[in-house]
Amino acid sequence: MNMMRTAVLMAAMTALFLVVGALIGGQTGMLMALAFAAATNLFAYWNSDRLALAANGAQEIQRAEAPELYDLVAELARRAQLPMPRVYVVHEDQPNAFATGRNPENAAVAVNTGLISMLTREELAGVIAHELAHIKHRDTLTMTITATLAGAISSIAQWGMFFGGNRNNGAGVIGSIALAVLAPLAAMLVQMAISRSREYEADRLGGEICGDPNQLASALYKIAHGAEAIPNENAEANPAMAHMFIINPLTGQGVDNLFSTHPNVENRIAALQQLAGEMGVVGYASQDNSAAISARGPWRGAADRGSSGERRPRGPWG
């Protein structure tokens, strides 16, 4: 059902793009919009992973630098029958993670150091499994395309307002102003709806990959509360990438409505509880377990370097 919903929403996003182009420039505008979409998507297809990783200050690690983390990713990738993705760490206190890449052969998993400090190994496995599920479903490419189309819709709508729109079609200045406001809003709503549908699918497959959906449920609880308390400056500076993370890095609040990039955390936990029951795994205790969050200090692995490039002491993850 979610796969079908995603296909319908992607079609709606494409149709919206063409409608905006037609309103601005008629048939010529529609063709120009189509060409612009093709060009931007082609660029995003080849460069989305590098752009996302660079925007978040991610640093690639090798096994020698963080063997426990690297081996955990490798083990879960084998379970998921995926090629080994590149592994990155982001020196960010907010607990979070994301995956990127145009296909499984060119994928990367990035985890914040705050996530490694907060979670147990089993919970971390649940989070990584969730990200690998996105890779297996090729959600990383889908979300890149929707983000690119949403940005392109906003851009051409603003062009229409600047040039006064297609007066032959009756849009005029007033119509162009309305288009500049409503088109990006509509694109944002579709993008968020696609993001929410993919999170449920990734939770389910991630729970199956790690073998215990309860661990992913516990991790989601901790990450959501941690994201509420700890701001993520990189994410705030690049809000268009918020949908890539396992939990919304901008607010961390689970409001399951049109304006949320992620489903309600409690709904996700409930779905994982149901999956655990189907798998015969003991159910997750839905309670305030904030006291159970690890009190370990910030992670300091071999890949953790200061601004001058010096190595910091190795920590429990390598």
Q: Which residues are designated catalytic?
A: 131
What residue spans of the chain are helical by DSSP H?
2-55, 67-79, 113-118, 121-136, 139-163, 172-210, 213-229, 233-237, 265-279
- SS3 category, 245: strand
Question: Helix axis angle, 139-163 relative to 121-136, nearest 10°?
Answer: 60
State the CB neighbour count (10 A cutoff) for residue 284: 21
Distances (CA, A) of 168 to 27, 202, 239: 11, 46, 36
From first CA to last CA, the distance across the chain in angstroms is 41
Distance CA 91, CA 139 (A): 25
